Structure 1
Amino acid sequence: MRRTGTSRRSALTATGAFALGAVLTGCGGGPQSPGTSGGTGARTVALRAEKALRAAAARDSVSLLSRYEQAAAAHPVAETGLAPLQAAVREHLTALGGPAKAPGGSPAPAPPAVPTDARTALKELAGEERRVADARTVALLDAGPELARLLASVAAAGAAHAYLLTELAKEPLE
């Protein structure tokens, strides 16, 4: 048999170059015709979804911050332990693009009444931190890379807060 001049190595190289070209073309951010998926309409929908995820996460932070403030006001004995966690929640809210306080136009829903027992209040606050952290973890599936990293970081911090609040509830609060 006679050699055709195409070696296995050159065929694999050509196939790899073709595949790389196809991948780079598919990932390009260039303009697309209106009939193709991934056009401007799809980007607009994706941006709106990101904005909605970010707004929902900010609302959760506003609610959480309000609960911290109420717990600290109702139980001054726990205020020292709550202050750094409350400050972290405020920073999370800022990172999510929300205001440092609840927006003036639409007040945040009133959180439930704070229990009269400080330990119970701390345990409920820990449960709320877990709920919010879980919700942010689920939201990762729909978030873009940048927002997903932020949500993952804030969810991890929330899980740590839940642990710290649970431990704080075990300590003597006097």
Structure 2
Amino acid sequence: MHRTGTTRRSALTATGALALGAVLTGCGDGADSRSASGGADAGTASLRAGTALRAAAARDSASLLSRYEQLAAAHPVTAPGLAPMGAAVREHLAALGGPPKAASGSPAPAPPAAPTDARAALRELAGEERRVADSRAAALLTAGPELARLLASIAAAGAAHAYLLTELAKEPPA
């Protein structure tokens, strides 16, 4: 006896073929409609936003590096403890694309003068590192994947620097 009609195997095959066709058609239409309706504009806007985030992060790193250098110069006793962290900030600046370009030829604002007390200056720098790390962590929500990974890494390093600076401020002067 030969079975006539629809078997389970033929029903599954037909359903799979229809689903595959729908998926392939959906993928093709979505890509075409995105490019036709301004997908390039969205890509350009995303690129501009990423560039702006990177430039802001580079400005923050340049400011932090300046603060490290200023603190080491004002309080030479802190220089050995600050040197590795300053070098890391210099590397962060390089990873972000180097020093930011000054807008309209105006120089970047000078950092505030370091306090005369080395411990107070270290605590102030720790606070600045914490603030910058927090702003970079907040920027992760709008950054693209590659920039988000870089910012997350730099934010984690900044949080570690803040901790180390706080501990360095607690040490007795040498």
Normalised by the length of structure 2, the TM-score is 0.83
Does the 8 Å CA contact 1:102/1:108 hold for their aligned counterparts? no
Q: Deviations over 1:5-58 (max 9, x none)?
A: 35575467457645764785588699821xx25x21111111111100000000
Greater fraction of residues in helix: 2
Q: Paired residue for 2:74?
A: 74
Q: Paired residue for 1:129?
A: 129
Aligned pairs (5 A) from 1:37-52: 37=38, 39-52=39-52
Larger radius of gyration: 2
Which stretch shows the higher mean deviation, 6-15 or 45-54?
6-15
Which stretch shows the higher mean deviation, 3-12 or 48-57?
3-12
Between the aligned partners of 2:171 and 2:144, the Cα distance in structure 1 is 40
Between the aligned partners of 1:80 and 1:22, the Cα distance in structure 2 is 64
Normalised by the length of structure 1, the TM-score is 0.83
SS in 2 for 1:142: coil
Matched, 1:32 2:24: no
Q: Paired residue for 2:155?
A: 155
Between the aligned partners of 2:165 and 2:25, the Cα distance in structure 1 is 51
| Residue identity matched to 1:167 | E
SS in 2 for 1:48: helix
Give 4+ residue runs of structure 1 displaced > 2 Å after superposition: 2-31, 101-106
| Gapped regions of structure 1 (runs ≥ 5) | none
